Amino acid sequence: MESQLKEEYGDIVQVKYVDVDQVGIENYLVVQEVLHLGYRYPITLINNQPKIAGGIMKNEIRDSINEILGISDLN
């Protein structure tokens, strides 16, 4: 996923994988809130906002990034 996003967006988009079991979920309050609502891992945050839970949805991630960047999807 990271390499695909890097290829498409270059340095505009940064990808960071965080294993909250290793670094401590207390450091990620928004993830705690999403889990408390009943959603499951993995949780995808874009601009520190929860967007997708329960799986890695490549098209949805791409659509969210395009929306933030103001890019029309012509595909």
For the chain, state the CA radius of gyration. Answer: 13
Q: Which two tokens stand for residue 20?
A: 């909250």
pLDDT in 10s for each residue of the chain, 75 residues? 899 999 999 999 999 999 999 999 999 999 999 999 999 999 999 998 999 999 999 999 999 999 999 998 655
pLDDT value, residue 72: 82
For the chain, give every domain's residue range. Answer: 2-67
pLDDT value, residue 45: 94
pLDDT value, residue 74: 58
How many angstroms separate the Cα of 2 from the Cα of each of 13, 16, 36, 52? Answer: 9, 8, 27, 16
